[in-house]
Copies of this chain bind each other. A is one copy, B any other.
Amino acid sequence: MSEASGETLISEGDDVLLFLDPKRTYLVRARPGERFHTHRGFIQLDDVLGKRFGDKVSTNLGFHFFLLKPNIYDYLGKASRATQIVYLKDNALIVAYSGVGPGSRVIEAGTGSGALTSVLAHYVRPGGRVYSYDVRAEFQEKARRNLVRAGVSEFVELKVGDAVEGFAERGVDAVVLDLATPWLVVPRAHEALRGGGRFVSFSPTVEQVVKTVSALNDDFVGVETVECISRRFKVKEGETRPETLMVGHTGYITHARKVFKE
């Protein structure tokens, strides 16, 4: 990128989010000589170079796309708007309950596609580190590509391993779980956390929550489970109302703090 009059100009290799409307966005890398095809015609990527983020560009069919600089949630959500929204609220709350920020050391299990990993990595930069475990090596390959694309791979150590067997790290600030059986990992999280460190677990079902809370009650305090319901509001003079269809449930977030009860 280069700067001019306070604005960043798009240069070769920059990631650009092409925005038609909230449901139709594309993530592309600016490269000279290439064309990017949309359902509204193609964009000559040479037309993108040298423009400001925030400017618009036309397809050969005359449709306008705005050029946006992707943020961490754009990288995660580019495939699906519905998914983006859901994950934004849960990821945002998981980050908040974990207490992590720049410089934090945090363990995550499992890695999955690396969505939450990316968000955690975004916030622990530049001095922190995410240790992300998954038993499925093939998932981590996908996650690695997503982390590289989002520009946060240098802050993450991807580790193939079963969280139930324990973590290599000690004294971490937070352990964040998105696993089918989080309750089995509670003692392992306790080992790895520093005193007062945060445990956060995301689970879709009530039974998972009940077992996890039961396991936490021994060696943690401040155990709390919440669900966050995010509701879009359609705002237009004379037609203002909550949207008809919504995602009613994604999962429960359980969080707690490690103590030494001995």
Interface residues of A (CB under 8 A from B): 6-8, 19, 21-22, 52-56, 66-69, 71-73, 85, 88-89, 91-93, 95-97, 99, 101-103, 122-123, 125-127, 170-171, 194-198, 204-207, 209-210, 213-214, 221-222, 224-250, 252, 254, 257-261
Contact of A102 with B123 at beta-carbon distance under 8 Å, contacts A53-B196, A242-B248, A247-B244 already known: yes
Q: Which of B54, B213, B246, B257 contacts A195 (CB 8 A)?
A: B54
Closest chain B CB from A49 CB (angstroms): 15
Q: Which residues of chain B are within 8 angstroms of A125 by Cβ–Cβ distance?
A: 101-103
Asked if B206 and A261 make an inter-chain contact with CB atoms under 8 angstroms apart, the answer reads: no
Q: Which residues of chain B are within 8 angstroms of A236 by Cβ–Cβ distance?
A: 210, 213
Q: Which residues of chain B are within 8 angstroms of A127 by Cβ–Cβ distance?
A: 126
Closest chain B CB from A40 CB (angstroms): 15
Q: Which of B101, B231, B245 contacts A122 (CB 8 A)?
A: B101
> Measured between alpha carbons, how far is A97 from B8 in the docked complex, in Å?
21
Asked if A66 and B221 make an inter-chain contact with CB atoms under 8 angstroms apart, the answer reads: yes
Q: Which residues of chain B are within 8 angstroms of A66 by Cβ–Cβ distance?
A: 196, 221, 257, 259
